[in-house]
Chain A
């Protein structure tokens, strides 16, 4: 099962001088159980795209299928399908509003109609997942947290919905390196332990290289590349055309290859790159 978009187009402010075609005939598949990264230059339509995943925006043409159900329909089945997709927008901490963190995280489950006990257990589960101590933080105001903690509390508000597909729009934007790493670690843990499908929107190609199983690159409202990271990062011209950079590791390997080191040049993560370089050097008897 998967999220599937078929020939989706979307125009902002149609029929005015400000008309803007944000998505142009997009077809793509987000496979279940994988980490899919969506990258693209500012204004390439990433944020518009993800808003179609749970029906916040309705395509002008085309269909969005979540696990085979057209989420554009008005029946209950479509509603349940929309609820499978949780979206954490950019700077999700701006959506916090309740008096206490626990109440804020409980907002989602309550809206879904969970009883008090189920809600409570979900709040504990979500806070535990983002590494916020329930006993310490549950009754505090979300506005007194640090930036990174606010971000995690807000993401916990989405996790409490127990989405099958979790979409994160630049989850680490504006966090310090430590905050980034801990948040990404939590997301990976969720992916591994719960099997949640992750959709990650990011400018950071190094992050994408490190985490993604699947890369989608958007440019001017169209899908430019939809492939495995290896294949995606081998298409240097297309990536530059989309206004993006290669991951640093890949740049280094490309340069080494250009300078004559006979590497396979398939690696895009630190570990793989190190082992590739070592194996070449080993063959050459230099180490």
Chain B
């Protein structure tokens, strides 16, 4: 069923990762990603993998679910792995047609794949532990220095919030319309490409009409409440940095120092 899709990937919980301030999480994620691409020594790879895994354990999310988030990008990972296997010069192990598989290639391919997997895992962890609303609030707050040069940070965040707010509504609406048309005997999703596209029309037309109607109603409702953009607006949920965020940042800085140390010693 369509409405079984969860909004974003947020998985409610009470873990330390859930409690952290979203802004802190985004900034730390940013540095972690830089670290993943900067450090290239085997001990560091092991440490970063261990760090990501312990974060997943700390988040108390089902391990399988987090690992599954790699699935959509599986082909990209496989592709880059194969590219490296075949294109890295070195001692040939096996020869396939005109391509050589080298030991160096396998190692390099493995490391690139590991980097990608870590990247996806740790970003999904942010999405899993942060509600979409907190995420947009945090983005707005992080982008707010750019307001001085005329960047519409608040408007962008508001648009994102509204868009995300309406994803479940529109999904529900789609589900309802599909069911209504199915009740009238339409076989949505059957037949060849043209038939399927045609079959979508009875769903898309009512969906667009209702989306425009909703947009119209929402804008009237916002104007009726005197909404006029971000200036001087206060928030119901203030974003605050708590002890847990300082502790997390401290641990993270320690971790980065360790990585830098190992990198310097071994190169």
Chain A residues within CB distance 8 Å of chain B? 12-13, 16-18, 51, 54, 56-57, 83, 86-87, 89, 92, 94-97, 107-108, 111-112, 143, 157-158, 161
Among B12, B182, B183, B187, max chain A CB count under 10 A is at B183
The reply to whether A89 and B4 form a contact with Cβ atoms under 8 Å apart is no
Closest 4 CB pairs of A and B: A111-B185, A97-B205, A108-B184, A95-B180
Can you name 17 extra interface pairs (CB under 8 A) apart from A87-B180, A95-B181, A96-B206? A12-B1, A12-B3, A16-B6, A54-B183, A89-B176, A89-B179, A89-B180, A94-B209, A94-B210, A95-B177, A95-B184, A97-B206, A107-B181, A108-B184, A108-B185, A111-B185, A161-B184
Residues of B within 8 A of A111 (CB): 184-187
Closest residue of chain A to B180 (Cβ to Cβ) is A95
Residues of A within 8 A of B202 (CB): 95, 97, 107
Residues of B within 8 A of A158 (CB): 183-184
A26-B183 Cα distance, complex, nearest whole Å: 22
Please tell me if B252 contacts chain A, counting CB pairs below 8 Å. Answer: no
Residues of B within 8 A of A92 (CB): 180
Please tell me if B241 contacts chain A, counting CB pairs below 8 Å. Answer: no
Question: How many interface residues does B have (CB within 8 Å)?
Answer: 24
A46-B254 Cα distance, complex, nearest whole Å: 56
Residues of B within 8 A of A13 (CB): 4, 6
The reply to whether B183 and A86 form a contact with Cβ atoms under 8 Å apart is yes
Closest residue of chain A to B179 (Cβ to Cβ) is A56
The reply to whether B185 and A112 form a contact with Cβ atoms under 8 Å apart is yes
Chain B residues within CB distance 8 Å of chain A? 1, 3-4, 6, 11-12, 173, 176-177, 179-187, 201-202, 205-206, 209-210
Q: How far is the CB of A252 from chain B (nearest CB, A)?
A: 38
Residues of A within 8 A of B11 (CB): 17
Closest residue of chain A to B210 (Cβ to Cβ) is A94
Residues of B within 8 A of A143 (CB): 209
Closest residue of chain B to A107 (Cβ to Cβ) is B184
Residues of B within 8 A of A17 (CB): 11-12
A69-B185 Cα distance, complex, nearest whole Å: 19
Residues of A within 8 A of B173 (CB): 94
Residues of B within 8 A of A16 (CB): 6
Residues of A within 8 A of B210 (CB): 94
Residues of A within 8 A of B180 (CB): 87, 89, 92, 94-95
